[in-house]
Every structure is written in structure tokens, then in C-alpha cells.
Amino acid sequence: MILRNPDLKKYLAVHLKNDLKDFLSASPEPTAIRINPLRTSFEDQINRLKSWKIDFSKIPFSDHGLIVNHDRMPLSQTLDFFRGFFHYQGISSQLRRLFLIRYREKPFLIWPLRRVPNPRRWRP
């Protein structure tokens, strides 16, 4: 990553110190999608992606998440995207569901997370 803003460069140098070089050389998060189970089944969507010759792999901790390794076409321009069969959703944002499921079993697991729903108002 090339930083063009000198103020941002100074800010990152102060806060990241020795990790700045690693931060700048890190690759971005891979493209990921989440299949909407209310609109289509996981198997049907996987078959459609295979027919489009899209290279993907399953996200190990997500029931409906896929990492798109190589897309030959912009998936956001497909009819499936417009019909809501899948959404672009980063891998890290798919972790939240995993923690919310764990919340029912052991509430202390998610206290470090922010923006967790109020348990008094949340109805499973």
C-alpha cells in the first residue's frame, strides 16, 4: 500500500511504530460472499457459481460463507445478486454470527465485542 497523505503516514508511524512495514505490506482481505438462505439453498447457489466457472472455497466457520478466489465476471452484475441470493460480506464480519450463536450458551465469550445487541431486547 502506498500512502499519499503525509498526515496519515505520521499518524500510522506513531501508533504502529515497528509494525508499520508489516501493515503496509499486508494484503487486503479476500473477496467473500454470504449466501442468503431465505432466498436460495446453499447447494443451488454453489451449483450456479460452478456453472459460471467461479473459483471459490468455503469459509470454515460460516454455514453460508464463501471466499471467492477468482471471479471471471463481476458477481454484483448477476441476476442472483440483484435477487438477493447472495451478498458481498467480508470474512471478518461473518464472525459476528458465530459469536452470537455462542452467546446463548456462554455469554462471557462475546463481552469484548462491540455492538452486541442488548440481551433484554433480543428475542431468538
pLDDT digits (tens, 9 = 90+) for 78-119: 999 999 999 998 888 887 655 665 555 555 444 444 555 555
As a CATH number, domain 31-124 is 3.30.70.1170
Residue 33 CB burial class (10 angstroms; 0-12, 13-18, ≥19): buried
Which cell is 9 given? 503516514
CA 81 to chain centre: 16
What pTM did the predictor assign?
0.62
Which of 93, 95, 35 is closest to 64 using CA atoms?
35
More reliable by pLDDT, 3 or 31: 31
